[in-house]
């Protein structure tokens, strides 16, 4: 996506404002991520793509949900509740604000973490946009949305909140050997007793996990890039981070 900024014959604008919040903001924590972008008016029409990128260190797991939304389900606005990872909203000219739900689905391309489906409705018409969730070449996380419908409207605002987290408990059985003594005097004997021990291990999988270290500036960074036929609109993303 960054290469598009230097393409000949295009313009770069920064017309909007972005607010980014991580809850909690502590290192290595599974977090709820909220990105709210308003005042997007540098270019008319809908963008051909929107890329939301977080710095290296952020991770995501497809296991943060117990079910995935299939392409058939997303096309009919019928993603299962168990696949929901968040909510969102898109503001467009003439129509106002359209509320969305975010779902996790199978990867669109090999090597991707998963797909993210933005699903909503307007005047009884299903509105669905699917995007790729993957690790870009430089590391970190990127959500790339590139299947916006062709409509004569202008995008004014976009917000997404991803907060899915799931705890999976796994039982591990180990075999322990213990030496015991029985009897007395010359009848005392040593025996080995085998026993099975069950241990439960809990693992937390999150749609967003913070980096393991906080930066010297006390903030993690990212970028929002809106790409149009006539240019790009690039906005910085900044979220406060804490060491503990």
Per-residue pLDDT reduced to its tens digit, 29-71: 999 999 999 887 667 788 889 999 999 999 999 999 999 998 8
Could you say which DSSP state residue 30 is in? B
Indicate if 90 and 152 belong to the same structural domain. yes
Whether residue 1 is contained in a domain is answered as no
Report yes or no on 70 lying in a domain: yes
Give the mean pLDDT of the chain: 85
Tell me whether residue 8 is in a domain: no
Q: Do residues 130 and 227 share a domain?
A: yes
**Residue 210 pLDDT > 90:** yes
The per-residue DSSP string of 7-75 comes to -TT-EEE---EEEEEEES-BTT-B-EEEEEEE---SSSS--SEEEEEE-TT-B--GGGSSS-B-HHHHH
As a whole number, mean pLDDT of residues 156-174 equals: 87
**Domain count for the chain:** 2
Domain match, 189 and 77 both: no
Measured distance CA(59)–CA(136) in Å, rounded: 11
Parallel, antiparallel, or unpaired: how do β-strands 11-13 and 231-240 relate? parallel
Claim to verify: residue 140 and residue 159 sit in the same structural domain: yes
196: enclosing H helix or E strand: strand 189-206
Residues 150 and 190 in one domain: no
Per-residue pLDDT at 191 exceeds 80:
no
103 lies in the same domain as 192: no
CA–CA distance, 55 with 26 (Å, rounded to integer): 15
Check whether residue 98 and residue 126 sit in a common domain. yes
pLDDT tops 70 at residue 1: no
The answer for residues whose C-beta is within 8 angstroms of residue 6's C-beta and 6 or more apart is none
Q: Say which residues have a Cβ less than 8 Å from residue 154's Cβ, sequence separation at least 6.
A: 41, 44, 45, 46, 92, 93
Residue 54 domain-assigned (yes or no): yes
**Do 112 and 183 reside in the same domain of the chain?**
no
The reported pLDDT for the residue numbered 127 is 77
Instruction: Indicate the pLDDT class of residue 24, thresholds 50, 70 and 90.
Output: very high
Domain, as residue range, for 196: 169-202
Would you state the pLDDT for residue 3? Answer: 25
Tens of pLDDT along 116-129?
999 887 666 677 88
Is residue 5 a part of any domain in this protein?
no
Same domain, 145 and 230: yes
**Phi and psi of 64, rounded to 5°?**
-70, -10
How far is the CA of 84 from the CAs of 107, 109, 224, in angstroms?
15, 20, 23
DSSP state of 140: S
Integer Cα distance of 16 and 20 in angstroms? 13
Q: Is 18 a member of any domain?
A: yes
In a domain, 7, yes or no: no
46 and 66 housed in the same domain: yes
Contacts 24+ apart (CB under 8 A), 172-181: 172/198, 172/199, 172/200, 172/201, 173/197, 173/198, 173/199, 174/199
Would 174 be classed as within a structural domain? Answer: yes
Whether 197 and 211 map to the same domain: the answer is: no
Are 173 and 218 in a shared domain?
no
C-alpha to C-alpha distance for 73 and 65, rounded to whole angstroms: 16
């Amino acid at each position: 996506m960054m290469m598009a900024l230097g393409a000949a014959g295009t313009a770069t604008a920064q017309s909007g404002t972005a607010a980014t919040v991580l809850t909690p903001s502590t290192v290595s924590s599974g977090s709820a991520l909220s990105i709210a972008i308003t005042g997007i008016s540098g270019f008319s029409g809908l963008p051909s793509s929107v890329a939301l990128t977080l710095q290296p260190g952020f991770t995501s797991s497809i296991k943060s949900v117990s079910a995935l939304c299939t392409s058939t389900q997303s096309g009919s606005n019928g993603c299962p509740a168990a696949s929901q990872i968040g909510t969102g909203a898109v503001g467009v000219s003439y129509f106002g604000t359209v509320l969305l739900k975010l779902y996790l689905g199978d990867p669109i391309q090999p090597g991707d973490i998963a797909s993210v489906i933005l699903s909503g409705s307007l005047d009884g018409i299903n509105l669905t946009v699917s995007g790729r969730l993957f690790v870009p070449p430089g590391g970190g996380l990127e959500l790339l949305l590139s299947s916006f419908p062709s409509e004569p409207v202008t995008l004014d605002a976009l917000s997404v909140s991803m907060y899915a987290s799931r705890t999976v408990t796994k039982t591990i059985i180990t075999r322990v050997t213990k030496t015991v003594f029985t009897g007395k005097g010359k009848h005392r004997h040593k025996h080995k007793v085998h026993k099975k021990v069950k241990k439960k291990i809990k693992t937390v999988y999150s749609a967003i996990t913070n980096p393991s270290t906080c930066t010297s500036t006390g903030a993690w960074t990212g970028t929002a890039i809106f790409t149009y036929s006539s240019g790009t609109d690039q906005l910085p993303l900044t979220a406060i981070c804490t060491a503990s």
